[in-house]
Structure 1
């Protein structure tokens, strides 16, 4: 059974009693300067790594200062919202508690979860729209040794939406990994790739048993849409190679 199909999965699209609990959201802010926007794929990969960095941070674990917020967030729907900032907006965002993760061209800051209606002022004022980004050249094919977050070829998502979905996929992989594989991934710096699958590969991936994200349908796409398959080598059914 795929991860999103389990009754307790926060990525479910049907309503359950847990939806009556207070809802939290994980804020991510991508730096998009007017004259130097990041490449789309790098922004997606950096956002996915940012989610993993926060989940594995000591402040989010045990008795850490963010642990209760992370627990409350993961005990409901796993909402992530990506906003954009530049200049002074970015500097104000950096002054808030969080972690900045840097890619080749992208900078993404992830913050501890906040109540759905309780965003810090300097984050609440940031725009969600305007995160449409491009790749200056076609990303290289993944080599099959590092995890790949495969995006659905059937959905047209803004860069911000795709960043959130990539984060969902990374999080599902993290949850399913044995502790030894988590440690190895973390110590390696969370290498990963984000790519859009071709239609035939996508058909194979969604039935492969790998972690699969179904979107709740709050923005852009229909509820229950399959958005990402997390193809981590340690989670492949035969552990011998890519699907």
Structure 2
């Protein structure tokens, strides 16, 4: 299980899309980190996790909870107003207590303004318009999509994405675009259905520019 924690202070909630994009970038950050490769301190855990289901959970923290989470080994990624910390994966029964006791609920965010079109040339994670998901669930699904996109890239493509600080965009597809994406052969997240959506639901599709 890979845990992501989003910082949600009183009166300072992140925007929806910024939270989704920051969660996706956090997953990429731990995948690319030198501690996750070779003989790095997280490498064995990362290999075991990726050889099984790449399960991810998003929790929220504020104040002292956030400070305790920051003290644990991990990586904090910031967006425009979102902060997400990602932690090396562990078995479900081995999640540190300072993370396990954090709430999963309460992560329903909103975008303050209308979203501009994604910048040309960056990866876009398109969300299924026919599903209703909490912000936390959508963050995990965008993390899955970014993960699949990373696996689909060449070594050179990964280096370019690292150099670009994992630039990406998250948008909700129109129904017509979603139908086209489903037949495109692009990486698509198919959810196991443990929470919120039915088993087999296709949640997010990643477009990676060549």
Deviations 1:139-195 (A, max 9, x none): 111133110000000000000000000000000000010111110011111100000
Residue 161 (str. 1) matches residue 125 (str. 2) = no
Task: Please report the TM-score for the alignment, with normalisation by the length of structure 2.
Answer: 0.99
Whole-Å separation in 1 of the counterparts to 2:120 and 2:203: 20
Q: Distance in 2 between matches of 1:139 and 1:222?
A: 28
The Cα shift of 1:43 comes to 0.3
How many pairs align?
Answer: 210
- Answering whether residue 29 of structure 2 is matched by residue 47 of structure 1, we say no
Q: What secondary structure is seen at the aligned counterpart in 2 of 1:233?
A: coil
- Residue 183 of structure 1 is matched in structure 2 by 159
Query: In structure 2, what is the Cα distance between the partners aligned to 1:94 and 1:232?
Result: 31
Residue number among 83, 93, 104 corresponding to 1:128 in the alignment: 104
Partner of 1:151: 127
Runs of 4+ displaced beyond 2 Å: none
Aligned counterparts of 1:144 and 1:150: Cα–Cα separation in 2: 15
User: RMSD of aligned C-alpha atoms?
Assistant: 0.6
Paired residue secondary structure (1:180): helix
Q: Which runs of 5+ in 2 are unaligned?
A: none
| Equivalent of residue 210 in structure 1, options 186, 190, 194 | 186
Q: Distance in 2 between matches of 1:205 and 1:97?
A: 37
Q: Alignment partner of 2:41: what SS? A: coil
Q: Tell me the equivalent position of 1:114.
A: 90
Which residue of the partner structure matches residue 36 of structure 2? Answer: 60
